[in-house]
């Protein structure tokens, strides 16, 4: 496997305060990397660097050999075309139905016929079990359904990289398991490289190839789930203990 | 152009002088950014009209700007015409010159008050709605989502709204002038003893093509200003619901001020 995504010593400051403080890690092609850590340690900030919604104060973010923080607009568009992004709230357009939201990137950015678009939208909605809600508006469906619709939109272009920002936060355990299974299924069946920012430690252990722990703006551990749970790193022990305490 | 912008500085200012200079630079940067939104939106007009989805959005915006504001604009322009006729008519009566009431009301409405009434109504009804709608989309990450999907928010959101305002503003301004003149006629005939037919003849006799076109030009400029300011305020929104409120408030204030300033400047250019 080769590194598809690399963070090289990335520092990001907001108003003089470093949120990321020299983060270095890489993601291999076809891998599922779960990013965990306490709130406010820069997990979502890390994700936003990958699509240049944020640029590093120093360091570089490389996606498939392209430094996304300094590349030209044309190259940025090419990279973004390969990336699906699931926002925390789904980020669906309120005036469109679920099906129209999912069809939007295909209608606006491809030359597919209406029939081909309809087939792909139907397929994506079936994958996230939202066929029955296709004609509903975002305000008419639950938060979990909105996230699943956002997920369908993120994968409908058959992107080879998908970034998930808290895909299971605020969801009931059953829906969380459904979404985690879906992330794993997309990875196995389509070889989608995935980075999942999550607070759901059990979900991370279930779906990740590797788990990255961010603390104090630094990557303090990056290892397989088995290695992660057995790690002697005091930060990992502390984090796992805190997560167990949370679930008690 | 990129809509989701980062703060210009990663570090906190070290002195008051630096903070002040940063505020100034930030203001200039925002001005330049707003100008880029205007130019990029104009450049995206052909794309809006050539794409089926663009034409649908444009038609929807024409409806929002032109039809949904009609009740407010009708009432505003009717009362402006009535107030104008009453104030001017009372003064004219002192000199037994009521026959010129139609001419005075018509000229004022065509040149100044028609476009102005249309402008403030659109700024209040449409501009504020655009700033709030786009601002809410910004804080809900919908604008970021569009950018990540390589869908230009300028082409997809800004251009149809701006084009609709550009097209509808002159039409609505003319409508304002007509309704205002009729309102003046009602006051003239009911309270100032000016026959309605005499009032209309006086109004039509004074109106020149130049007055009409300068008024329409003003309305078009107001439409572009309202659209650009409201869209830029929406795109620049941050800090959640509070930010949306601030952006909406700022768009209305800035639009009112710009309508007054540009109204004066255009008058100054054409009537020396």
Mean pLDDT of A169-178: 82
The pLDDT value recorded for residue A2 is: 63
Residues in chain A: 248
Residues of A in contact with B148 (CB under 8 A): 51, 53, 80, 83, 85
Q: Do B149 and A108 make contact, defined as CB atoms within 8 angstroms?
A: yes
The pLDDT value recorded for residue A248 is: 44
Which one of B145, B146, B241 makes the best mutation probe of the A interface by having the most chain A beta carbons within 10 Å? B145
The pLDDT value recorded for residue A128 is: 83
For residue B134, the chain A residue with the least C-alpha distance is A93
Contact yes or no for B183/B80 (Cβ under 8 A): yes
The pLDDT value recorded for residue B179 is: 95
Residue-wise pLDDT tens digits, A162-173:
999 988 887 788
Chain B residues contacting A, CB < 8 Å?
4, 6-7, 9-12, 53, 137, 140-142, 144-145, 147-151, 156
Mean pLDDT of B210-231: 94
A72 Cβ under 8 Å from any chain B Cβ: no
Q: Do A80 and B149 make contact, defined as CB atoms within 8 angstroms?
A: yes
Residues of B in contact with A13 (CB under 8 A): 10-11
Cα B2 from Cα B269, distance rounded (Å)? 36
Residue-wise pLDDT tens digits, B113-151:
999 999 999 999 999 999 999 999 999 999 999 999 989
Residues of A in contact with B147 (CB under 8 A): 53, 80
CATH code, residues A1-82+195-248: 3.40.50.300
Average predicted confidence (pLDDT) for chain A? 88
Which one of B2, B10, B130 makes the best mutation probe of the A interface by having the most chain A beta carbons within 10 Å? B10
Going by their DSSP bridges, the two strands A83-86 and A161-165 should be labelled as parallel
Residues of A in contact with B11 (CB under 8 A): 13, 15-16
For residue A107, the chain B residue with the least C-alpha distance is B53
Q: Over pLDDT 90: what percentage of chain B?
A: 74
Q: How far is B198 from chain A (nearest CA, A)?
A: 51
For residue B57, the chain A residue with the least C-alpha distance is A95
Domain residue ranges in chain A: 1-82+195-248
Residue A87 has its nearest CB partner, among B7, B10, B141, at B141
Measured from the Cβ of residue A42, the count of other Cβ atoms closer than 10 Å reads 26
Residues of A in contact with B53 (CB under 8 A): 107-108
Residues of B in contact with A93 (CB under 8 A): 137, 142
A12 Cβ under 8 Å from any chain B Cβ: yes
Cα B157 from Cα B139, distance rounded (Å)? 15
Radius of gyration of chain B (CA): 22
Going by their DSSP bridges, the two strands A193-197 and A32-36 should be labelled as parallel
The pLDDT value recorded for residue B10 is: 75
Q: Is A87 exposed, middle or buried (0-12, 13-18, 19+ CB in 10 A)?
A: buried
- The lowest-confidence range among A4-8, B163-167, B223-227 is A4-8
A7 Cβ under 8 Å from any chain B Cβ: no
Q: Do B148 and A55 make contact, defined as CB atoms within 8 angstroms?
A: no
Mean pLDDT of B182-188: 93
Q: Do A91 and B141 make contact, defined as CB atoms within 8 angstroms?
A: yes
Q: What is the DSSP string of A29-62?
A: TT-EEEEE-STTSSHHHHHHHTTTSS--SEEEEE
Domain residue ranges in chain B: 39-270
Residue-wise pLDDT tens digits, B41-53:
999 999 999 988 8
**This prediction's pTM:** 0.88
User: C-alpha distances in angstroms, B208 versus B77, B88, B204?
Assistant: 20, 20, 9
pLDDT band at A246 (very low <50, low <70, confident <90, very high): low
Residues of A in contact with B149 (CB under 8 A): 80, 104-105, 108-109, 153, 157
- The lowest-confidence range among A95-99, B12-16, B199-203 is B12-16
Q: Do B150 and A55 make contact, defined as CB atoms within 8 angstroms?
A: no
Contact yes or no for A110/A50 (Cβ under 8 A): no
pLDDT band at B264 (very low <50, low <70, confident <90, very high): very high
Q: Do A91 and B10 make contact, defined as CB atoms within 8 angstroms?
A: no
Residues of A in contact with B145 (CB under 8 A): 85, 87, 91
The pLDDT value recorded for residue A127 is: 82
Q: Which residue has the higher pLDDT, A186 or B4?
A: A186
A143 Cβ under 8 Å from any chain B Cβ: no
User: C-alpha distances in angstroms, B115 versus A237, B14, B82, B195?
Assistant: 69, 47, 16, 27
Angle B141-B145-B146 from CA coordinates, rounded to 5°: 120
Q: Is B104 exposed, middle or buried (0-12, 13-18, 19+ CB in 10 A)?
A: buried
Contact yes or no for B12/A15 (Cβ under 8 A): yes
């Amino acid at each position: 496997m080769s590194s598809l995504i690399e963070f090289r010593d990335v520092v990001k400051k907001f108003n003089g305060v470093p949120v990321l403080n020299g983060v270095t890690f890489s993601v291999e092609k076809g891998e599922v990397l779960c990013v965990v850590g306490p709130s406010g340690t820069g997990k979502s900030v890390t994700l936003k660097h990958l699509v240049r919604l944020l640029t590093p104060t120093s360091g570089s973010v490389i996606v498939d050999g392209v430094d996304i923080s300094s590349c030209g607009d044309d190259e940025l568009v090419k990279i973004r075309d390969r990336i699906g992004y699931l926002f925390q709230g789904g980020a669906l357009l309120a005036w469109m139905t679920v099906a129209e939201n999912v069809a939007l990137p295909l209608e606006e950015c491809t030359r597919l016929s209406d029939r081909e678009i309809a087939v792909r939208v139907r397929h994506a909605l079936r994958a996230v079990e939202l066929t029955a809600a296709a004609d509903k508006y975002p305000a008419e469906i639950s938060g979990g359904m909105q996230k699943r619709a956002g997920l369908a939109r993120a994968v409908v272009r058959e992107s080879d990289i998908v970034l998930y920002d808290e895909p299971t936060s605020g969801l009931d355990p059953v829906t969380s398991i459904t979404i985690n299974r879906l992330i794993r299924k997309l990875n196995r069946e389509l070889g989608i490289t995935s980075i999942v920012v999550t607070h759901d430690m059990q979900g991370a252990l279930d779906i990740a190839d590797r788990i990255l722990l961010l603390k104090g703006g630094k990557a303090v551990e990056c290892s397989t789930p088995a290695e992660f749970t057995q790690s002697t790193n005091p930060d990992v022990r502390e984090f796992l203990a805190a997560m167990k305490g949370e679930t008690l | 152009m990129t809509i989701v912008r980062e703060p210009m500085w990663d570090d906190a200012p070290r002195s008051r002088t630096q903070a002040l200079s940063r505020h100034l630079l930030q203001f200039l940067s925002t001005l330049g950014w707003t100008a880029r939104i205007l130019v990029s939106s104009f450049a995206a007009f052909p794309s809006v009209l050539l794409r089926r989805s663009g034409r649908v959005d444009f038609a929807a915006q024409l409806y929002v700007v032109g039809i949904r504001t009609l009740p407010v604009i009708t009432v505003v322009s009717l009362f402006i015409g009535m107030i104008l006729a009453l104030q001017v008519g009372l003064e004219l009566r002192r000199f037994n010159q009521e026959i010129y009431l139609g001419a005075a009301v018509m000229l004022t409405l065509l040149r100044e008050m028609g476009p102005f009434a249309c402008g403030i109504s659109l700024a209040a009804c449409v501009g504020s709605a655009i700033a709030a709608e786009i601002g809410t989309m910004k804080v809900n990450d919908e604008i970021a989502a569009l950018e990540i999907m390589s869908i230009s928010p300028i082409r997809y959101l800004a251009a149809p709204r701006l084009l609709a305002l550009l097209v509808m503003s002159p039409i609505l301004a003319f409508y304002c002038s007509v309704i205002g003149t009729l309102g003046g006629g009602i006051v003239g005939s009911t309270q100032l003893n000016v026959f309605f037919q005499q009032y209309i003849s006086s109004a039509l006799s004074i109106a020149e093509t130049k007055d009409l076109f300068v008024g329409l030009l003003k309305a078009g400029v107001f439409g572009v200003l309202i659209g650009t300011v409201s869209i830029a305020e929406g795109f620049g929104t941050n800090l959640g619901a509070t930010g949306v409120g601030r952006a909406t408030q700022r768009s209305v204030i800035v639009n009112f001020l710009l309508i007054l300033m540009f109204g004066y400047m255009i008058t100054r250019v054409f009537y020396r």
